[in-house]
Amino acid sequence: MNYQRNWVLAAYRAEHEKRRNPTAQILDNFDQRLFDTYDQELQDQSDPTIPLNLFNRSILVYFATRSGASTPETQVKHAYEFFGNTRPTP
Protein backbone atom coordinates (compact mmCIF):
# COMPACT_ATOMS: atom_id res chain seq x y z
CA MET A 1 0.00 0.00 0.00
CA ASN A 2 1.06 3.57 -0.64
CA TYR A 3 -0.46 4.86 2.61
CA GLN A 4 -0.93 3.54 6.12
CA ARG A 5 -3.65 0.91 6.10
CA ASN A 6 -5.73 2.47 8.89
CA TRP A 7 -5.99 5.79 7.05
CA VAL A 8 -6.92 4.01 3.82
CA LEU A 9 -9.58 2.09 5.73
CA ALA A 10 -10.93 5.31 7.26
CA ALA A 11 -11.11 7.00 3.85
CA TYR A 12 -12.71 3.93 2.28
CA ARG A 13 -15.31 3.69 5.04
CA ALA A 14 -16.15 7.39 4.76
CA GLU A 15 -16.67 7.03 1.01
CA HIS A 16 -18.41 3.63 1.05
CA GLU A 17 -20.58 3.67 4.18
CA LYS A 18 -22.64 0.63 3.28
CA ARG A 19 -19.82 -1.68 2.17
CA ARG A 20 -18.66 -3.58 5.20
CA ASN A 21 -16.63 -6.36 3.65
CA PRO A 22 -14.12 -4.99 1.13
CA THR A 23 -11.62 -7.45 -0.22
CA ALA A 24 -7.88 -6.89 -0.05
CA GLN A 25 -7.92 -6.18 -3.80
CA ILE A 26 -10.63 -3.54 -3.44
CA LEU A 27 -8.61 -1.82 -0.71
CA ASP A 28 -5.42 -2.01 -2.76
CA ASN A 29 -7.24 -0.49 -5.74
CA PHE A 30 -8.70 2.24 -3.53
CA ASP A 31 -5.24 3.00 -2.10
CA GLN A 32 -3.85 3.24 -5.64
CA ARG A 33 -6.68 5.57 -6.66
CA LEU A 34 -5.88 7.82 -3.68
CA PHE A 35 -2.22 7.80 -4.69
CA ASP A 36 -3.00 8.61 -8.32
CA THR A 37 -5.35 11.43 -7.30
CA TYR A 38 -3.42 13.08 -4.49
CA ASP A 39 0.25 12.15 -4.23
CA GLN A 40 1.66 14.49 -6.87
CA GLU A 41 -0.42 17.32 -5.45
CA LEU A 42 0.96 16.61 -1.96
CA GLN A 43 4.46 17.02 -3.37
CA ASP A 44 3.60 20.10 -5.44
CA GLN A 45 2.10 21.90 -2.44
CA SER A 46 4.59 20.59 0.10
CA ASP A 47 5.18 22.59 3.24
CA PRO A 48 8.76 22.61 4.55
CA THR A 49 7.47 22.31 8.13
CA ILE A 50 5.59 19.08 7.33
CA PRO A 51 7.87 16.16 6.40
CA LEU A 52 6.20 13.87 3.87
CA ASN A 53 6.81 10.66 5.77
CA LEU A 54 4.33 7.81 5.53
CA PHE A 55 2.17 8.93 8.47
CA ASN A 56 1.93 12.54 7.31
CA ARG A 57 1.20 11.59 3.68
CA SER A 58 -1.47 9.15 4.85
CA ILE A 59 -3.27 11.59 7.10
CA LEU A 60 -2.98 14.42 4.56
CA VAL A 61 -4.65 12.20 1.97
CA TYR A 62 -7.40 11.30 4.45
CA PHE A 63 -7.94 14.99 5.24
CA ALA A 64 -8.05 15.73 1.49
CA THR A 65 -10.76 13.12 0.94
CA ARG A 66 -12.89 14.79 3.63
CA SER A 67 -12.43 18.34 2.30
CA GLY A 68 -15.62 18.67 0.29
CA ALA A 69 -13.81 20.78 -2.32
CA SER A 70 -14.30 19.81 -5.94
CA THR A 71 -10.69 19.52 -7.14
CA PRO A 72 -7.73 17.56 -5.79
CA GLU A 73 -5.68 20.77 -5.75
CA THR A 74 -8.10 22.49 -3.39
CA GLN A 75 -8.68 19.34 -1.35
CA VAL A 76 -4.93 19.06 -0.73
CA LYS A 77 -4.72 22.76 0.07
CA HIS A 78 -7.43 22.29 2.69
CA ALA A 79 -5.67 19.20 4.03
CA TYR A 80 -2.41 21.10 4.50
CA GLU A 81 -4.25 23.97 6.20
CA PHE A 82 -6.00 21.61 8.62
CA PHE A 83 -2.81 19.66 9.29
CA GLY A 84 -0.87 22.86 9.91
CA ASN A 85 -3.48 24.10 12.37
CA THR A 86 -3.81 20.83 14.28
CA ARG A 87 -0.39 19.13 14.01
CA PRO A 88 -1.60 15.52 14.39
CA THR A 89 0.92 12.98 15.63
CA PRO A 90 1.16 9.22 15.17
Average pLDDT of each block of 10 consecutive residues along the chain (90 residues)? 97 95 97 98 96 97 97 98 94
Please give the model's pTM, rounded to 2 decimal places.
0.94
How many whole angstroms separate alpha carbon 46 and alpha carbon 53? Answer: 12
Identify whether the C-beta of residue 78 lies closer than 8 Å to the C-beta of residue 63. Answer: yes
How many whole angstroms separate alpha carbon 21 and alpha carbon 80? Answer: 31
According to the model, what pLDDT value does residue 71 have?
98
Which residues have CB under 8 Å from 88's CB, separation 6+? Answer: 59
According to the model, what pLDDT value does residue 90 have?
85
According to the model, what pLDDT value does residue 20 have?
93
Q: Nearest to residue 65, comparing CAs of 37, 90, 88?
A: 37
